[in-house]
Amino acid sequence: MSVLDIFDQDAFSVTTMSDAMREVKYVPGFISRLGLFSSTSIDTLDIAIEKDAEQNVFIVPSSPRGGPGKTFGKNRRSMRKLSVPHFQVDDAIYADEVQSVRAFGEERAVETFQGRIAKRGAEVRQSFALTEEYHKLCVVTKGQLLDADGTVLYDYFEEMGEAVPAEVGWDLTAANPADGVLRQRATDLARSMGAALDGLPFSGILAIAGNGFWDKLVKHKEVRDTFKNYTAAVTLRQATVDINSQSVQSGIWGSFPLFDMTWVNYRGGLDVGIDDDEVKFVPMGVPGLFRSVFAPADYIETVNTMGLELYVKQFRMQNEKGISLEYQNNVIHYCTRPRVLMSGRSAA
């Protein structure tokens, strides 16, 4: 679109600039970058999840020759239908907003409509990125899909007919902890998770800790003793949070391997995060455990087409005073086996 040449002079009299800065907000994105969720596009507005009942696997008992044997029961399948939620942001840019306005970072220029649309679009995309992280974090740590106000859109424990695992307490402040107490706690958790996964493979366990849990964990005697007299003892000489590390920018304050788990201190923000004294345990490398499904937008041209991750539509206002903008996606993030999502809390 051509420049809106309404007036010749700039709205600002500034002719020289020493620097041009924008305040950029930090948007959490660690869970979204992990690659836990496999993405699929559909051309409908609903998804159907089919689940088999528990398999009939048992030790075959002996029986009299020529007599009846143990009956092998038939598995029963169940089907669940979930509607894909709709998320939309409406915006508008008026002609007066760009009339003779100097473009950001330039000494003399007239901003174009297209430039303003691109700038606004980048801001809206950040909101959708934040929404994606919020939804995926809720699925991974709570087994639920929550709306922006905390309303439960889907509780996958209920949808899948599975029980919520009991929260496990971690005593991280005992004055004289027993030797190996944390290792035993981690071992018990790994066994429980393996049992919950049944025959499904998993490559490891990710422990996502809140700030309070993390701070107590790294000060625990067993944790500190583990790193002493070992090549990783350098960890004890470093700050818990390395502000120069790439991990801080990628969504965590720090991480280290311990008890065959990867422990991370989640960096939240903008109402996205986990409770201060909580830790969430997630199995890694489980095929099909987490999924994202994108449905088509509610436009004439997108009927029966495969859904995209984000739709952007712009159209002129009827009075020709500006451009109306609409951003939307239609996506559902879910967990197929929420029973494997386990949690802990530092004991008081």
Burial of 231 (0-12, 13-18, 19+ CB in 10 A): exposed
Give the three-state DSSP class for 93.
strand
Distances from the Cα of 308 to the Cαs of 117, 126, 294, 345, in angstroms?
A: 20, 17, 6, 38
Residues 116, 102 contacting (CB under 8 angstroms): no
Domains for the chain: give ranges and CATH numbers: 163-287+336-346 (3.30.1930)
Taking alpha carbons only, the member of 78, 70, 74 closest to residue 55 is 74
What is the pLDDT, as a whole number, of residue 112?
67
Tell me the two tokens of residue 10: 């700039």
Going residue by residue through the chain (348 aa), what tens digit of pLDDT does each one get?
Answer: 333 333 233 332 222 233 444 556 788 999 999 999 999 999 999 998 877 655 555 566 656 766 676 665 655 566 788 999 999 999 998 877 777 666 666 554 455 666 777 788 888 899 999 999 999 999 999 999 999 999 999 999 999 999 999 999 999 998 889 999 999 999 999 999 999 998 889 999 999 999 999 999 999 999 888 877 665 555 554 555 555 555 555 789 988 899 999 999 999 999 999 999 999 999 999 999 999 999 999 999 999 999 999 998 888 888 888 888 899 999 999 999 999 999 999 986
Tell me how far apart the alpha carbons of residues 111 and 32 are, in angstroms, rounded to a whole number.
Answer: 34
Q: CB atoms < 10 A from the CB of 166, how many?
A: 9
In this prediction, residue 102 carries a pLDDT of 62
For residue 94, the model assigns a pLDDT of: 85
Residue 188, Ramachandran bin (φ over 0: left; ψ between -120 and 50: alpha; else beta): alpha
User: Do residues 282 and 343 make contact, with C-beta atoms less than 8 angstroms apart?
Assistant: no
| Per-residue pLDDT tens over the stretch 37-47 | 999 999 999 99
Q: Which pLDDT does position 115 carry in this prediction? A: 74
